[in-house]
Amino acid sequence: MRRMRPGRYLLLASAAAMALGHWAADWNRGHTFGPGYGPHARWHGTTEVVSATLDALLMLALLTRTSGAERRLATTVAALVPLLRYGPSNLTLAVAGTSPYAEGRPPIRLLGLPASLVAQDTVIGLALCGYWLERRAGQAA
């Protein structure tokens, strides 16, 4: 059995963080099921948790179920999933009237930025670093 390289571990960690992070942060009474959230907001919260989990499962399938020439393309696509999912969240800071903070709760900031964006950008960073390491090792396109 071939030993897994660090780049692959980072890509898998990115997938795990994408799925588990949403369940931990959003699937609770402080967010999706909070008293201030109406049915439509809960619908959005639920679809976000489920779609993030499905994206993570797609990453896992791409990273573990491919070999040979397919593996290079699969690794590239897997690394792009977090960027495509979370990258647009950074653009919302430039849109007037939007907020990354839940209403009625104190803002949570890390490094002077919204904690949710820091977490999402960390997931992107893990994936891109993992991809870079895999590419250096000759496994990605």
* pLDDT score of 69: 80
- The SS3 of residue 83 is helix
Phi and psi (nearest 5°) for 28? Answer: -160, 175
User: pTM for the complete prediction?
Assistant: 0.88
Amino acid 36: pLDDT: 82
CA 97, 38, 47, 8 torsion: positive or negative? positive
- The pLDDT assigned to 99 comes to 85
Extract the residue ranges of the chain whose pLDDT is less than 50: 141
Q: What are the angstrom distances between the C-alpha of 6 and each of 97, 114, 137?
A: 41, 29, 10
- pLDDT value at residue 141: 46
Query: Cα–Cα–Cα angle for 52, 53, 54, nearest 5°?
Result: 90
Strand, coil or helix: what is 110?
A: strand
